[in-house]
Amino acid sequence: MLRDPAPREAIPFGIAAFRIAGYVLWPFGRTTVEKPDAGAPSCIGNVIWVIFAGWWLALAHIATSIPLFLSIIGIPFGWANLKMIPISLMPLGREVVPTDEKFGGR
């Protein structure tokens, strides 16, 4: 008999990494919001994440956005890079949702 797959709560850091990867792949027209039912485990997980991965991911986004702002073509990607700082710094207890803002709207 086959076992049921592990629940989503069993691997929060892996799910957070895939959430970041999906947001990095296409950040335009989407934003991140905090989940109201996140709770204390996500807070503890965020502290662990910041210590081991979050701070250098946030610094990398800042460092890569600076050269992107130097060219006209790179400005939207620089802004997108800055939008990724909150989710890469503390990804647990957040979700990526679509926005009503159109990229490059008039």
Could you tell me the residue ranges of all domains in the chain? Answer: 11-98
pLDDT over 80 at 65, yes or no:
yes
Mean pLDDT in residue range 50-58: 89
Query: Residue 90, exposed/middle/buried by CB under 10 A (0-12, 13-18, 19+)?
Result: buried
Could you give phi then psi for residue 72, rounded to 5 degrees?
A: -65, -40
Give the per-residue pLDDT at 101: 62
pLDDT over 50 at 36, yes or no:
yes
pLDDT over 50 at 13, yes or no:
yes
Instruction: Write down the mean pLDDT value for the chain.
Output: 80
Which of 31-35, 54-58, 73-77, 82-86 has the least mean pLDDT? 31-35
Query: 97 near 34, Cβ under 8 Å?
Result: no
